[in-house]
């Protein structure tokens, strides 16, 4: 091959590499490509201010250690060398004792140490001489050509020379000069790009592609080591069980960081395992402990990793290096924290609460839009086609799948973990969600877990609802990104989508909500599609909207005429891909008014499209692969409103939430063979040291003390001991509360009998009330739960078996039997319990097609507030499934206020926490009506509020609903015979709608008393022979 052809080939190869690896080439130091034979002194050429950081996303682009185009060092930043000390080891053998040099290296913000003997320097020097000779040979391979190209323009200078004196002849007084000689040698080598970038040099000074990434924290010890397979705590992950003969040894590059260790395959650069530092983290050395000569055993809750060193002293260096580094930088991870949590209490954390999904979805969408590197999502159920901002004014821009696709195209890595349901029991179709998301872009990776057969987990679920952006902002709470969840404080029952149904057209439909890119289907929901040109209202009186048919919650508002097409033009969106979903406001003022009321919405505005309009007690979801087709007739069936709570935290607490996600992801990756491929990468936790460098902050967050708590176990997170820190936190907060407890929860199954139910939350409530009674102090407990469990079933015939089973355990906790809260209280204080505790549900009403309708509001929250200064928000229900740790996996936060506002408690001045009090006032405003500033809501303990506002509002509302609608559940129905009579009696709503409407005007808010006596004479557990009776009792508790 001619020289010209060779140079042309080399140039074209470089072009290809530049195209493939543009991001790495851009950050390469150009001086390294034009080495002119001069010693390049980067200290002179570049000041540290010009240093270019390696982005965190580099962890997803690691290369084989011998590949020439690998970026390891910070661009424009020197590596400084100091030989700190010489250790002289005495030896029992007759050979001369070696001296060990401790070398400290500094590169930008990173400082680390390596220990090397003089013989290591000699081996290194010989290797560099071989490399120098090798580079001169024109081998026609891509990697070699690139290597030669990078140093082509002139020969390197003379290599620095090592001192020739044998180590054994150096006297102690000459050590300092020997140190200086070695320091100079290494300094010169590291200033010459040809040698600095050689993999042997990197190995000698202990650096890799993951050494200098700012967000991975300080640099610890690194190096090549032999690793033994197996050692996983979870059965089934080790080949052929735990047999000693059944393992293999592999060469790996071990990297130690402040809160984890990992090892990489040197050939490919792939991260092959991540071991998180936790309370069980421990290092042992020695043949006896590790069953390996010169062995090193590293334990944590998930694995016992065995490494092999080449001498006992080498093993000791590793142990000391890892141990000192972790104790210095990662001590928070080594201990058990309050409530037995894996996460430390994080002070001065920015936090914010959400009541209902409208504002939560908006903030999640905005945070995702601001993502730079990673988005983590885990949900019990995820619906890719939900709209995150409503009403929809920008086509599909804020649809979840469109946001994720857009971010993936921008280079953000998106990792989603979904609960893999037992398909016979649940219809949430996680397989469809996974397929839909994975088809959007290669940067989106989705895992489902558990595999019920291989993991033998049939009963338990992954129940967390988390969204984590760049490991810096973490949303934690009870709201899945799924159908039926979006709601606001109005809890509307109707969403027919047009102000008035035209005589000629039954309804104006939702057209093509799916963008052409992902879904070509065109789903008209009713008889005729809306064309962009159509004017919903012409200027004639006949088509004027009939406001009486658009009561949101029985409130009438004024409408103004508009044209949807003019409106599209006004907002520059007449080419939007989702015409009917464009918000049809006539002016911007009414967009703002959405925050307080819906009445000013007009025309074809829909909040709930297709499957999002639901009433799951009436009918469970079907055909989820047709997202925009209705499955309930919205002209005859009201939707079931959804009341829920969530939160967001920043900084170190967000890092803790991300760590839980990473632990679960990495565990699932090694657990399921299909995820072991490189296309599903291991995730790495960012360092707590960089946690407060926030690129994005959710608006209106306040500073507070936050701790992350969870329910996790072997099956869910791969850990040896289960964690039930949420349960411990609930019990502790209740026991230590001074004035009141406010609880909203989807379930209320507690009061341990140590046979069927084990969690102690109900007992803690009863004991706390009894303590207040004995001390003659005021104490209030507010419990808000759904009037019926969220299972499909016709309650007018008694409901289904599943619905009744949950009712049985809810009632057993509240008021039935001696173990119940009221049972425990009545034994000691008789009827005085009524001064301490109140159980309520939520209900609302509306007018639908000229008929008055009512429906319960489904309380899905998982919230506890105590004393206006402590809050627990999460995904954990009050039942054994969520609380015991060994069952469902859950995530929550406990927030304790540090910023206070003046308030009143039990008639006396009180410093209330900003976070807790504002959340309580919003909850009270939603359930009682009124405003956040209602003076009567300020003091949650005084008699005036408890009896004259809370109890009386709940009683009055319940009485009116019973009178107008004869609602179920009801205290008038104690058995199934009475139930049949009850539903056949006439209702005021149908007999005299005008009088009924007058009665309904007296209703305030949504609060209704919980009916204690409903079906109390019936045995509600599944009867023998039904499929529900074959299910273990733990499923219901």
3-state secondary structure (DSSP) of residue 261: strand
Catalytic residue (choose from 257, 860, 886, 937):
860
- Comparing CA positions, the residue from 529, 494, 510 lying closest to residue 629 is 510
- Distances in Å between the Cα of 893 and the Cα atoms of 481, 650, 874 are 19, 12, 6
Active-site residue identified among 278, 470, 612, 763: 470
Q: Distance from first CA to last CA of the chain, Å, rounded?
A: 78
**Per the residue annotation, which of 643, 660, 739, 862 is the catalytic one?**
862
Catalytic residue among 465, 491, 551, 808: 465
Give the separation between CA 427 and CA 97, rounded to whole angstroms. 71
CA distance 942 to 780: 9
Q: For this structure, is 15 an active site residue?
A: no
Residue-wise DSSP of 741-764? EEEEES-B-----SSS----HHHH
Please compute, for residue 894, the number of CA atoms within 13 A of its CA located in the half-sphere on the CB side. Answer: 21
Catalytic residue among 227, 463, 760, 886: 463
Concerning whether 660 is annotated as a catalytic residue, the answer is: no
The Cα 328–Cα 337 span in angstroms is 18
Please report where in the chains the tokens 């084989």 appear, as a residue.
64
Contact between residue 577 and residue 515 where contact means Cβ atoms under 8 Å apart: yes
How far is the CA of 894 from the CAs of 91, 315, 349, 768, in angstroms?
56, 42, 12, 20
284 is catalytic: no
β-strand pairing of 645-650 with 473-477: antiparallel
164 is catalytic: no
Q: Residue 895: which H helix or E strand, with range?
A: strand 890-897
Q: Please give the full DSSP string across 758-811, using - where no structure is assigned.
A: ---HHHHHHHHHHHHHHTT---EEEEE--SS-SS---GGGT--HHHHHHHHHHH
Rg (CA), the chain: 33
3-class state of residue 581 by DSSP: coil
The dihedrals phi and psi of 1033, each to the nearest 5 degrees, come to -60, -30
Report the C-alpha gap between 572 and 469 in whole angstroms: 31
Q: Collapse the DSSP code of 554 into the 3-class scheme (helix H, G, I; strand E, B; otherwise coil) and give the result.
A: coil
Backbone φ and ψ of 376, nearest 5°: -110, 135
What six digits make up the tokens of 549? 């048919």
946-971 b/e with 16+ CB inside 10 Å = b? Answer: beebbbebbebbbebbbbbbbbbbbe
Instruction: Please confirm, yes or no, whether 470 is among the known catalytic residues.
Output: yes
Cα separations (Å) of 324 from 88, 206, 220, 534?
21, 17, 10, 73
Q: Is 880 a catalytic residue?
A: no
Bridge partner list, 643: 859
Sign of the alpha-carbon dihedral angle for 858, 864, 866, 870: negative
Instruction: Find tokens 């016709």 and name the residue.
Output: 794
State CA 235 to chain mean position distance.
Answer: 27
DSSP 32-73: GGS--SS---HHHH--GGGPBPPPGGGGGS---TT-TT---S
Distance CA 40, CA 187 (A): 11
Which letter does DSSP use for residue 211 in this model?
T
Closest residue by Cα to residue 106 from 141, 66, 67, 77: 77
Rounded to whole angstroms, the Cα distance separating 311 from 295 reads 9
- Annotated catalytic sites, by residue? 463, 465, 470, 860, 862, 867
């Amino acid at each position: 091959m001619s020289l010209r052809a060779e140079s042309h080939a080399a140039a074209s190869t470089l072009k290809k590499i530049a195209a493939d690896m543009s991001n790495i080439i851009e950050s390469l130091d150009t001086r390294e490509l034009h080495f002119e034979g001069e010693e390049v002194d980067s200290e002179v050429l570049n000041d540290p201010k010009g240093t270019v950081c390696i982005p965190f996303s580099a962890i997803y682009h690691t290369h084989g250690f011998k590949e020439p185009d690998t970026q390891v060092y910070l661009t424009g930043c020197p590596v400084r060398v100091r030989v700190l000390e010489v250790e002289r080891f005495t030896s029992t053998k007759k050979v001369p004792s070696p001296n060990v040099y401790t070398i400290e290296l500094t590169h930008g913000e990173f400082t680390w140490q390596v220990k090397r003997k003089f013989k290591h320097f000699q081996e290194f020097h010989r290797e560099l001489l071989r490399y120098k000779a090798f580079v001169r040979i024109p081998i026609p391979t891509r990697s070699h050509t690139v290597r030669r190209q990078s140093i082509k323009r002139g020969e390197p200078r003379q290599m620095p020379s090592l001192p020739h004196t044998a180590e054994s002849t150096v006297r102690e007084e000459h050590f300092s000069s020997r140190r200086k000689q070695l320091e100079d040698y290494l300094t010169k080598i590291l200033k010459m790009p040809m040698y600095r970038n050689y993999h042997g040099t990197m190995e000698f000074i202990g650096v890799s592609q993951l050494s200098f990434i700012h967000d991975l924290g300080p640099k610890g010890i690194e190096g090549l080591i032999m690793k033994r397979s197996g050692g996983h705590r979870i059965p089934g992950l080790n080949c052929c069980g735990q047999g000693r003969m059944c393992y293999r040894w592999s060469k790996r590059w071990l990297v130690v960081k402040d809160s984890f260790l990992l090892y990489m395959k040197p050939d490919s650069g792939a991260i092959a395992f991540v071991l998180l530092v936790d309370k069980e983290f421990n290092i042992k050395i020695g043949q006896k402990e590790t069953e390996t000569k010169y062995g090193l055993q590293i334990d944590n809750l998930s694995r016992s990793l065995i490494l092999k060193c080449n001498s006992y002293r080498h093993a000791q260096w590793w142990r000391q290096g890892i141990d000192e580094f972790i104790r210095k930088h990662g001590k928070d991870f080594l201990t058990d924290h309050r409530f037995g949590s894996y996460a430390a209490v994080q002070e001065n954390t920015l936090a914010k609460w959400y009541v209902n999904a409208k504002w939560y979805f908006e903030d999640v969408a905005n945070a995702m839009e601001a993502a730079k590197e990673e988005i983590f999502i885990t949900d019990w159920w995820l619906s890719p086609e939900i709209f995150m901002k409503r009403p929809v004014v920008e086509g599909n821009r804020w649809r979840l799948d469109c946001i994720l696709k857009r971010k993936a195209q921008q280079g953000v890595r998106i990792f989603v973990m979904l609960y893999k349901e037992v398909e016979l029991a649940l219809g949430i179709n996680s397989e469809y969600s996974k397929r839909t998301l994975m088809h959007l872009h290669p940067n989106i990776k989705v895992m489902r877990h558990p595999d019920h057969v291989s993991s033998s987990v049939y009963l338990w679920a992954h129940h967390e609802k988390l969204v984590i952006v760049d490991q810096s902002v973490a949303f934690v709470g009870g709201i899945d990104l799924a159908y039926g969840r979006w709601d606001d404080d109005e809890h509307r029952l109707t969403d027919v989508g047009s102000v008035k149904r035209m005589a000629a057209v039954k309804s104006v439909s939702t057209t093509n909500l799916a963008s052409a890119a992902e879904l070509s289907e065109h789903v008209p929901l009713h008889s005729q599609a809306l064309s962009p040109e159509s004017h919903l209202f012409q200027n004639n009186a006949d088509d004027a909207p009939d406001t009486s048919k658009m009561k949101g919650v029985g409130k009438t508002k004024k409408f103004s005429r508009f044209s949807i097409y003019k409106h599209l033009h006004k907002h520059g969106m007449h080419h939007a891909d989702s015409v009917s979903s464009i918000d049809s406001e006539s002016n911007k003022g009414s967009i703002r008014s959405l925050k307080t009321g819906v009445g000013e919405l007009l025309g074809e505005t829909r909040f709930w499209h297709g499957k999002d309009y639901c009433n799951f007690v009436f009918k469970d979801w079907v055909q989820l692969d047709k997202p925009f087709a209705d499955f309930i007739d919205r002209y005859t069936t009201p939707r079931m409103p959804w009341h829920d709570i969530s939160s967001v935290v920043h900084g170190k607490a967000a890092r803790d939430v991300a760590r839980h996600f990473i632990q679960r992801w990495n565990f699932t990756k090694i657990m399921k063979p299909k995820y072991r491929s490189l296309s599903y990468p291991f995730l790495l936790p960012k360092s707590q040291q960089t946690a407060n460098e926030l690129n994005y902050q959710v608006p209106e967050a306040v500073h507070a003390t936050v701790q992350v708590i969870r329910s996790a176990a072997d099956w869910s997170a791969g850990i040896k001991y289960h964690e039930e820190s949420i349960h411990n936190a609930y019990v502790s907060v209740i026991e230590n509360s001074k004035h009141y407890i406010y609880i909203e929860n989807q379930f209320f199954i507690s009061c341990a009998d140590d046979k069927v139910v084990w969690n102690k939350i109900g007992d803690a409530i009863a004991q706390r009330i009894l303590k207040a009674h004995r001390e003659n102090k005021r104490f209030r407990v507010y419990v808000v739960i759904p009037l019926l469990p969220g299972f499909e079933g016709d309650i007018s015939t008694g409901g289904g078996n599943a619905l009744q089973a949950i009712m049985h355990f809810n009632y057993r906790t509240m008021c039935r039997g001696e173990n119940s809260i009221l049972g425990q209280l009545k034994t000691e204080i008789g009827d005085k319990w009524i001064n301490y505790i109140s159980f309520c549900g939520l209900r609302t009403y509306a007018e639908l097609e000229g008929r008055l309708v009512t429906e319960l509001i489904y309380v899905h929250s998982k919230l506890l507030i105590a004393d206006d200064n402590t809050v627990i928000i999460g995904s954990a229900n009050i039942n054994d499934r969520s609380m015991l740790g060994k069952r469902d996996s859950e995530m929550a936060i406990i927030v304790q206020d540090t910023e206070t506002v003046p308030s009143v408690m039990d008639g006396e001045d009180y410093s209330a926490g900003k976070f807790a009090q504002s959340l309580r006032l919003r909850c009270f405003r939603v359930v009682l009506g009124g405003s956040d500033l209602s003076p009567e809501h300020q003091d949650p303990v005084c008699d005036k509020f408890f009896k004259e506002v809370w109890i009386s509002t709940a009683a009055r509302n319940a009485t009116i609903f019973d009178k107008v609608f004869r609602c179920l559940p009801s205290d008038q129905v104690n058995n199934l015979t009475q139930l049949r009579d009850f539903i056949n009696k006439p209702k005021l709503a149908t007999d005299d709608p005008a009088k009924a409407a007058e009665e309904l005007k007296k209703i305030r808010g949504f609060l209704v008393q919980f009916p204690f006596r409903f079906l109390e004479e019936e045995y509600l557990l599944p009867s023998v022979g039904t499929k529900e009776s074959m299910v273990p009792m733990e499923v219901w508790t």
